[in-house]
């Protein structure tokens, strides 16, 4: 993916030397880091202060809220929390795949549910119900190997552009959240992604974009079979849903993959999809942090609300920190230039 | 779990100082480590040599087989590979739970499948088929919260003793394999467990016993629901199987949790349960290692064979390394004394 900001895989001798010096003077390095602003794209205010206070408290050895490193688990929703969701990127991928199918077989153009996708006709799509949606997923996400699917995702991310903003989707990650991920990792946190999106979709870009390795990505999944196809054993994507990692499915997915309760959870306002995992993190004894991103920035991103306002209500009741994109963020999208 | 060798959670100032010195003189530390035998409980021979050769090759920067750290994924089966499996510890747990149920409700003593378990009557148990087994799992593993279940496992590990060897099961991990896990981690490998056993069962002891955190444990699972019970939201264990992590299910479970192909896979001879994941690791381009433990040590452990010999045949055909417990291991069980 040429447009992703690449982190070097191997270090030059010079970088290796600098790293070695960092090991020799760990205290000095840490003192410098403490002076620099770890969240430069966040405006000073109650949310930024609460983030820094929390991290300081749980990393203070001997303090009442100290957390051993193995308990420092942070979980982030993806769509609308780490990158934009208008449109949902996996939805754009699905439409792109339908386009490719239609080019191969033009008769699909007049058949539902493909016609509805091509015409962006949500009502017609909804009329088809779950059966139509499953047919779409089967045609675009299943009946292929894991490798084939991820190659398709890679190709899509390389070539697709956001319909309004005109840039690759991977340039539409939120800079303040990338800084927050890094800040947490610098303080011994493991950072995880837990999204309603497909686990195998996100794993294609999570490491380069977020610094989150595939093993720390949790998402919805199709059933997979390991079986012989064309003379070799492959992981085959079946056209059947295995796990839906949304709403009450999120604490389930988190437990299956992490096996330990997260202490820091971040989600966003739109569908109420993150309420359950945000609330779940408040059940643990000891410190925890809940962050809810509110999309109130029509000028720099989009302004949209939840129909029933459930996420903001839960935030008020639970004492979660609510991020106003408009007020709390100096910049919205990734600022690092992509490599040529 | 008082009998598990505990690793200190917080370091004393003295230990912190030693660790800091380790950071100041990383080269010196590494040179010493290279001189010391990393696998002292392994007899010199072709298997030990192959292990050391492989690790040297894939960690040699600039060498043809060099693997970046993120690709150094090692996966170990559990029962019969990391600890003894005669009897299978989770089977002993199940029998222990049945005993407790019978004490509460003596009428169960005359009812199948409980009667069969109490009388160790495998034929009667098999007669009941899958329905009987599922009833047993439901009664002993399901219809409770995740917390309740893991508290039961903890209690069992604390109190149960191996029927022949008379010691807690956690003292029956294989010392040579603990050294191998540590040796791989010292060389940048992530170590994972992938077992037919229950994921939530193993997670209770994997970190203390193997140094493998819960997030790096893969196993069979029941469906779990996040729902309100008794006024609070809990993870509830449903009496329905979600994933069976055995045979062809292992590459599937590994992909779901790791999202990246393992390069080092270890399993054992008994049921053929590890063949699929061992073979799968040979498909990747570049270096890989397959290790198969053969239980041929009637004097110090047990000697048993697979009915159809499929694992050893696959090892011959695939060029896997076969561990003879009798010839390759100096000691079998954990040697570190448990804390008082």
pLDDT of residue A34: 53
Task: Please tell me the distance in Å from A85's CA to the nearest CA on chain B.
Answer: 24
CA distance B257 to chain A (A): 6
Q: Are A138 and A216 found together in one domain?
A: no
Order of strands, edge to edge, in the sheet holding A321-324? A144-145, A232-243, A217-229, A190-198, A73-76, A264-268, A289-294, A321-324
Give A28's contacts in chain B (Cβ within 8 Å): none
Mutate to test the interface with B, among A255, A257, A261, A277 (most CBs of B within 10 A): A255
Q: Is the pLDDT of residue B17 over 50?
A: no
Inter-residue contact B297 to B323 (CB < 8 Å): no
Average pLDDT over residues B127-144: 91
Q: How many structural domains comprise chain A? A: 2
**Same domain flag for B274 and B215:** yes
What is the number of CB-based contacts under 8 A between chain A and chain B? 100
CB contact under 8 A, B235 and A255: yes
Angle subtended by helix axes A146-159 and A89-104, to nearest 10: 100
- In the predicted model, is pLDDT for residue B31 greater than 60? no
Closest-CA distance of chain B to residue A254, Å = 10
Flag if A248 and B227 touch (Cβ within 8 Å).
yes
CB contact under 8 A, A258 and B214: yes
Q: Which residues contact A13 (CB under 8 A, 6 or more apart)?
A: none
Please check the confidence at residue B118 and state whether its pLDDT lies above 60: yes
Chain segment B64-76, per-residue pLDDT in tens: 999 999 999 999 9
The tokens describing B282, both together, are: 């040979």
Could you say which residues of chain A have pLDDT below 50? 1-31, 337-340
The rounded distance, in Å, linking the Cα atoms of B269 and B316 is: 13
Q: What is the pLDDT of residue B98?
A: 96
Q: Which of A5-14, A306-315, B119-128, B316-325 has the lowest mean pLDDT?
A: A5-14
A77 plus A155 within the same structural domain: no
Residue A203 lies in a domain: yes
State residue A105 phi and psi, 5-degree precision: -135, 85
Give mean pLDDT, residues B288-299: 98
Nearest to B9 among A26, A68, A249 (CB): A68
Place of tokens 């997923």: A137
**Domain co-membership, A173 together with A265:** yes
Asked if residue A80 is part of any domain, the answer here is: yes
Same-domain status, B236 and B135: no
pLDDT at B27: 42
Contact A315, A322 (CB under 8 A): yes
Shared-domain flag, residues B63 and B93: no
Q: Which of A104, A134, A159 is the last residue of a domain?
A: A159
Option in B24, B207, B255 nearest A224 (CB): B255
Residue A97, in any domain of the structure: yes
Identify whether residues B77 and B98 lie together within a single domain.
no
Identify the domain boundary among B138, B159, B180.
Answer: B159
Chain A residues at the B interface, defined by Cβ less than 8 Å, are 9-10, 20, 23-24, 26, 61, 68, 70, 146, 190, 199-200, 203, 207, 213-217, 221, 224-227, 232-233, 235, 248-252, 255-260, 276, 279-280, 283
Residues of B in contact with A214 (CB under 8 A): 258-260
Q: Specify the pLDDT at position A130.
A: 84
Residues B209 and B294 in one domain: yes
Across chain B, what does the average pLDDT equal?
90
Q: How many CA atoms lie within 13 A of B191 on its CB side?
A: 23
For residue A336, the model assigns a pLDDT of: 66
C-beta atoms of B207 and A259 within 8 A: no
Using the structure block, give the residue that is written with the tokens 């006024």.
Answer: B231
User: How many residues belong to chain B?
Assistant: 340
The closest CB to that of B260, out of A68, A215, A256, belongs to: A215
- The candidate with the shortest Cα–Cα distance to A153, out of A203, A104, A109, A224, is A203
Structure tokens at A329: 């963020």
Do both B302 and B250 map to the same domain? yes
> Within a domain: residue B302?
yes
Assigned domain for A5 exists: no
- How close does chain A come to B8, measured CA to CA in Å? 11
Q: Quick one: B179 and B100 in the same domain?
A: no
Q: Kindly determine whether residue B68 and residue A252, on different chains, have CB atoms separated by under 8 Å.
A: no
Q: Which residues pair with A55 in a beta bridge?
A: none
CATH number for the domain harbouring residue A82: 3.40.50.1000
The contacts of residue A334 (CB under 8 Å, 6+ apart) are: A5, A170, A171, A172, A173, A174, A175, A178
Chain B residues with CB under 8 Å of A200 CB are 259
CB contact under 8 A, A258 and B283: no
Using beta carbons and an 8 Å cutoff, which residues of B are at the interface with A?
9-10, 20, 23-24, 26, 61, 68, 70, 146, 190, 199-200, 203, 207, 213-217, 221, 224-227, 232-233, 235, 248-252, 255-260, 276, 279-280, 283
Interface test with B, best of A63, A256, A279 (most B CBs within 10 A): A256
Write down the H helix ranges in B119-270: 122-127, 129-141, 146-159, 175-186, 199-202, 206-210, 249-258
Among B12, B201, B252, B253, the residue to mutate for chain A (most A Cβ within 10 A):
B252
Nearest CA in chain A to B242: A242
The residue with tokens 């199709």 is A222
Q: Which residues of A touch B146 (CB under 8 A)?
A: 255
Residue B30 domain-assigned? no
**What domain range includes position B117?**
89-159
Give the closest residue to B251 by CA, choosing from B238, B267, B240, B270: B267
**Residue B19 scores a pLDDT above 50:** no
Domain boundary among B159, B187, B215: B159
**Are residues B95 and B81 located together in one domain of the fold?**
no
The answer to whether residues B200 and B152 belong to one domain is no
Say if A256 falls within a structural domain: yes
Question: In this structure, is residue B1 part of a structural domain?
Answer: no
């Amino acid at each position: 993916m040429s447009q992703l900001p690449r982190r070097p895989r191997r270090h030059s001798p010079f970088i290796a030397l600098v790293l070695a010096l960092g090991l020799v003077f760990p205290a000095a390095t840490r003192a410098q880091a403490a002076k620099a602003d770890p969240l430069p794209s966040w405006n000073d205010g109650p949310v930024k202060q609460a983030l820094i206070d929390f991290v300081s408290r749980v990393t203070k050895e001997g303090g009442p809220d100290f957390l051993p490193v193995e308990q420092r688990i942070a979980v982030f929703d993806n769509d609308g929390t780490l990158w934009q969701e208008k449109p949902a990127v996996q939805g754009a991928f699905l439409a792109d795949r339908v386009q490719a199918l239609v080019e191969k077989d033009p008769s699909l153009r007049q058949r539902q549910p493909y016609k509805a996708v091509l015409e962006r006709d949500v009502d017609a799509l909804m009329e088809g119900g779950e059966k139509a949606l499953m047919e779409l997923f089967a045609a675009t996400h299943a009946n292929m190997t894991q490798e084939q699917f991820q190659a398709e995702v890679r190709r899509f991310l390389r070539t697709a552009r956001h319909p309004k903003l005109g840039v690759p989707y991977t340039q539409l990650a939120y800079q303040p959240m990338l800084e927050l991920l890094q800040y947490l990792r610098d303080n011994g946190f493991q950072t995880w992604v837990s999204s309603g999106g497909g686990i195998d979709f996100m794993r294609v870009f999570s490491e380069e974009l977020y610094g989150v390795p595939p093993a720390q990505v949790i998402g919805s999944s199709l059933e997979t079979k390991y079986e012989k196809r064309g003379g070799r054993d492959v992981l085959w994507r079946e056209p059947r849903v295995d796990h839906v990692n949304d709403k009450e499915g999120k604490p389930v997915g988190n437990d299956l993959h992490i096996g330990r309760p997260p202490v820091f959870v971040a989600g966003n306002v739109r569908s109420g999809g993150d309420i359950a995992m945000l609330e779940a993190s408040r059940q643990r004894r000891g410190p925890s942090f809940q962050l809810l991103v509110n999309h109130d920035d029509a000028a720099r991103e989009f302004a949209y609300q939840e129909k029933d306002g459930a996420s903001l209500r839960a935030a008020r009741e639970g004492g979660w920190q609510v991020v106003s994109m408009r007020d709390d963020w100096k910049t919205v999208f990734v600022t690092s230039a992509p490599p040529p």
